[in-house]
Amino acid sequence: MSANAPVVPTRLNPDLSIELQLEVSYFLKWGYLVVENALTDEQVRTLRVTLDETFTRLNSEFTHQLLEQDDRFSFLIDNPPVMERMRAILGNCVQLHSATARVTQPNQPDQNWHRDGPWPMDPDNTPYGSLPGQINCGYFLDELTMENGPIVIVPGSHRALFKPPEGHPVFPDQKFVLAKPRQAVLFDGWLYHRGAANKSPNRRRVCLMCYQNAWMKSREPFDGPRVTKLREEGTPERKLLLGEIPKW
Ligand SMILES: O=C(O)CCC(=O)C(=O)O
């Protein structure tokens, strides 16, 4: 799309190939999707170095407002293999909900089961396609193993009408996702999920880019200097992703 094209897409839904339709159906049914070749080896190397530097500078396990930390994260905003799937699921009117990263140190315990949204699940959906309410995209920069802590999910649980249990009890149908560095793991924010304990001697690093429909309120303000510049200089799609439309 040209730089002076409208920021609000003129068509809500893209045309989908058969392959993409199958991926959308899989995602809607099970609440997750693993995207192959979401990153090149060079991009993985760059993200590892950049996240290590960020972690050393901030000395914090969790980094909020990741895009403000370093320009080398900015390609993740609209990384084509992921955006193609995001738009296939959410439609063209899509924005970032948040961009964060987590560095899980050795000996970190299991996370508790959680959902990312505050609401119960509505089986009748809501108008204007507000389900999925949030889709997370995890770029796991270290190959996940049973030692360093896979992301654990309960496939299909995004449609459960009730909250996950406290703690991290075993679900019979839980799945340990052993993601590889070039993959991206898309998962519905309502899916029961948790990071497993890191019992390895190494850090386990992940960048989390979360998306939602652009008419929802994002979690991040996206008002820092780097993001403001990225929005001002960005394509219409990037402007929308970074919150160009303040209200409807
Ligand atoms: O680190 C993970 O595998 C999951 C991260 C997560 O669910 C969170 O940060 O809320």
Q: In the Cβ-directed half-sphere of 185, how many Cα atoms lie within 13 Å?
A: 27
Residue owning the nearest CA to atom 9 of ligand 1: 102
Cα 225–207–167 angle (5° rounding)?
120
Q: What is the mean pLDDT of residues 5-9?
A: 89
CA dihedral 91, 95, 97, 103 (to 10 degrees): 100
* CB proximity list for 87: less than 8 A, separation 6 or greater: 14, 94
pLDDT for position 3: 57
Task: Name residue, tokens 């500078």.
Answer: 57
Sequence-distant (6+) residues with CB within 8 A of 81 are: 35, 37, 38, 184
pLDDT in tens, 20-55: 999 999 999 999 999 999 999 999 999 999 999 999
Dist CA 164 CA 12 (whole Å): 33
Model confidence pLDDT, tens digit, residues 218-246: 999 999 999 999 999 999 999 999 999 98
Q: In ligand 1, which atom is closest to the CA atom of 104?
A: 1
Domains in the chain (CATH in brackets) are 23-119+131-241 (2.60.120.620)
Q: What is the pLDDT of residues 97-111, one digit of tens each?
A: 999 999 999 999 999
Q: Does residue 118 register a pLDDT over 90?
A: no
Most ligand 1 atoms within 8 A of CB, residue of 194, 203, 207 to mutate: 194
Q: Which residues of 117-151 are buried (b: 16+ CB within 10 A; e: fewer)?
A: beeebeeeeeeebbbbbbbbbbbbbbebeeebbbb
- Ligand 1 pocket: which of 60, 100, 111 to mutate (most atoms within 8 A of CB): 111
Q: Distance from the CA of 12 to the center of ligand 1, in angstroms?
A: 30
Token readout for 237 is 């799609």
Gap from CA of 136 to ligand 1 centroid (Å): 10
> Contact at 8 Å (CB) between 174 and 196?
no
N residues, the chain: 248
Report how far ligand 1's centroid is from the alpha carbon of 194 (Å): 6
Residue 117 pLDDT grade (very low, low, confident, very high; cuts 50, 70, 90): confident
Q: Report which ligand 1 atom has the smallest distance to the Cα of 150.
A: 3
In this structure, which residue's CA is closest to atom 7 in ligand 1? 194
